[in-house]
Amino acid sequence: MTLMGPGQRLTIYIGDSDQWQGRPLYRALLETLRSDGLAGATVVKALAGFGAHSRVHTASLLRLSTDLSLVITVVDQPERIQQALLVVGPMVVEGLITVENVQIVQYRHRGSPELPRDRLVRAVMSRSVATVMPDTPIDEVVRLLLQREVKAVPVVSRDWRVVGIITGGDLLERGGMSLRLSIHRDLTTEELADQLKALQESGKTAGDIMSPGPVTIGENATLDQAGRIMAAKELKRLPVEDETGKLVGIISRFDLLQVLAADGIEIAETAPRQLLSGKSRATAGEVASQDVPTGHADTPLQQVLDELVASSHRRVVITDDTGRVVGLVTDRALLESIEPEARQGVMQRLAARLPWSKSRAGVFPADSIAADVMVTEVYSVLDSASLAELLREMLERGVKRLLVLDAEGRMVGLAERKAVMKALYSAESCC
């Protein structure tokens, strides 16, 4: 893209605490300008200033006010600036907007920026890796995972070569663990002690339950290669080896998505590689999974629990009579919110998700309903959001999945990090 000649500069002065429909106003303005195809926009935060109310705002640590001024500047062709004004003008309820004529001397755009092929895995990987030996008792494996707040651990030989990997799935399938690892973090001290004691009494070790021969990657491989491998094999992480085959780090799907976002959101937007199913311009709605169980606020809690246990998404979306999303029930939220006497029953039902459990017992009184436990703060994106916007929202929220809603607030589906990776990388060219 090239711009030269007469242009206009649009300048918007707002406060950094200003909101638009529950979101920071500057973010809403940027997204609007971007979706309208403006050449670019810059947000600058002021060191000090005052506005219509004559209150001095400053970044000084010795002053209490932190509601600093933000200045958004956009330069583009005059007709595009005037068109943008029609949209962003009404969004600035309080602030200042100016337009000036400028002469554009130079503006060039690469068009399709490439993934960071020149960046190596070793520059991003975590070098502090939790590891276990094949003879490590399984209860110690779980303790380590909980202590390090990680969900997988490489199994290494005494010469530090990776011989296996243990994930939460391995612990459930072969280790006999009855609850997901993430739920263990919400157990009481006594409940956790019981879980660990049962694992200890099984006598199993890391070598008994690990997945042998895990996929690894060299520290000098590129991030692009790592991403394609993870997308094609649906892996959340890769152990990293040096040239001699010894473990030197680990790189995760989250690490890679962070790089994609940090290196410029346009990487995801322009989708430089061959994308699965031709989804180079895929939206959040197109990559969202639609098999998400739903209920109403007055749905019996026992029914919600049954739906939750039966779903791989580990959540039930609560809607009103018009289909608008009003809340969410997850297994962790359920455990946190119920009375102590119901916890054991809920844990048994959550364990019933596992194939060897036959538990179908009722847990809640008949008058318990979804509204009693649902959370009403639901993170979501619009179905029209680009993959870049979806990724950015996931990273900023620190979540693995987001609800995707239409413009009326009705659920379209659930978008996960895995779906974003699949849409960004080609499986065909992998490995």
* Residue 266, pLDDT score: 46
Burial label for 89, CB within 10 Å (0-12, 13-18, 19+), is exposed
Distance CA 224, CA 293 (A): 35
Query: Whose CA is closest to 426, among 272, 255, 235?
Result: 272
Distance CA 119, CA 151 (A): 26
Pairing label, strands 217-218, 237-241 = parallel
Q: Long-range contacts made by residues 111-116, C-beta under 8 angstroms, separation at least 24?
A: 111/1, 111/270, 112/270, 112/272, 113/264, 113/266, 113/267, 113/270, 113/272, 114/267, 114/272, 115/223, 115/224, 115/227, 115/260, 115/267, 115/272, 115/273, 116/222, 116/223, 116/224, 116/259, 116/263, 116/267
The phi and psi torsions of 140 (rounded to 5 degrees) equal -70, -30
Buried residues in 155-172 as b, exposed as e (16+ CB within 10 A): bbeeeeebbbbbbbebbb
What is the 8-class DSSP label of residue 185?
T
Buried residues in 203-228 as b, exposed as e (16+ CB within 10 A): ebbbbebbbeebbbbbbebbbbbbbb
The phi and psi torsions of 186 (rounded to 5 degrees) equal -105, 5
Q: Are the CB atoms for 325 and 407 separated by under 8 Å?
A: no
Of all residues in the chain, the percent with pLDDT exceeding 70 is 83
Distances (CA, A) of 304 to 289, 330, 336, 380: 19, 10, 15, 21
Distance CA 226, CA 233 (A): 11
* Residue 87, pLDDT score: 86
Tokens of 357: 């459990």
Q: Are the CB atoms for 260 and 421 separated by under 8 Å?
A: no
Tokens of 350: 């959550």
Q: Are the CB atoms for 315 and 415 separated by under 8 Å?
A: no
10-residue mean pLDDT series, the chain (431 residues): 78 87 84 76 79 57 59 89 88 91 75 56 90 95 90 93 93 84 81 89 94 93 88 90 94 86 51 38 83 92 84 88 91 78 75 53 76 89 85 84 91 89 60 46
Burial label for 431, CB within 10 Å (0-12, 13-18, 19+), is exposed
Burial label for 375, CB within 10 Å (0-12, 13-18, 19+), is middle
Please give the model's pTM, rounded to 2 decimal places: 0.61
* Residue 357, pLDDT score: 46
Q: Are the CB atoms for 154 and 247 separated by under 8 Å?
A: yes
Tokens of 64: 């209490």
* Residue 109, pLDDT score: 53
What is the 8-class DSSP label of residue 373?
T
* DSSP letter for each residue of 383-422: TT-BHHHHHHHHHHHT-SEEEEE-TTSBEEEEEEHHHHHH
* Residue 392, pLDDT score: 82
